Amino acid sequence: MSRYTGPRVKLSRKIGEDLGLKSNSVKVSRRLAIRPGQHGARGRRKLSDYGIQLKEKQKIKYIYGLTESQLRKLYEKATRSELATGELLLSLLERRLDNVVYRLGWANTRAAARQLVSHGHLVINGRKMDVPSYETQVEDVVTLTGRATKIMAVSEALKSEAAVPGWLEKKQAAAKITQFPQQKDISEVITVQLVIEYYSR
């Protein structure tokens, strides 16, 4: 299935949480209580164990903007490692280039960060990179191009003093991956064990 391109608020309403898909969180919060669809106002039925696992899996997909096949490949990669599957899965998600750009505060949503990458505005270790799913490594240096810094939204973002996670080191239009991210570095509330249970059925 191709990437979802419909209304992003609908996804947050479907999960019942603000997933950070829109920059205006106040507007999103006003509609979270009502599920999308004709019968959304009737409330939510109690979910089964499978439903809870599925919801958490969908939540990760929506937050990071992944397709089902992309998330499953990351899960399979995580299971092949000797490290804890859940911890590694979250680390792989966080290390995606589009997410790194978002965490650095150069874009106010991951969708905007993905567009910034795919339009060729990022350089990794001196080489142009336009693949949003690129898996960053420790010591990678991520830089915005001169053309990118002239984009109004990016220019405004560079003027702000947004805090960045501890695994990133930022200096204006350049940043460095200093270590691999851990679950404690993720601001979103994700119960990754439910996702592992879903895929290991």
pLDDT computed for residue 9 by the predictor: 66
Instruction: Give the model confidence (pLDDT) of 58-85 as tens digits.
Output: 999 988 999 999 999 999 999 999 889 9
Mean pLDDT, the chain, whole residue set: 86
CA-based nearest residue to 142, from 111, 108, 160, 116: 116
pLDDT computed for residue 1 by the predictor: 44
pLDDT computed for residue 167 by the predictor: 95
Cross-sheet strand order for the sheet of 174-177: 127-129, 122-124, 141-144, 174-177, 168-171
- Torsions phi, psi of 107, nearest 5? -145, 145
CA-based nearest residue to 195, from 81, 83, 59: 59
CA-based nearest residue to 95, from 67, 55, 136: 136
**Tokens read off for 70:** 């992309």
The answer to whether residue 131 scores a pLDDT higher than 50 is: yes
Instruction: Give the model confidence (pLDDT) of 175-197 as tens digits.
Output: 999 999 998 888 888 999 999 99
Tell me the domains of the chain and their CATH numbers.
Answer: 8-92+187-199 (1.10.1050.10), 97-179 (3.10.290.10)
Q: What is the mean pLDDT of residues 30-35?
A: 59
Q: What is the mean pLDDT of residues 16-41?
A: 60
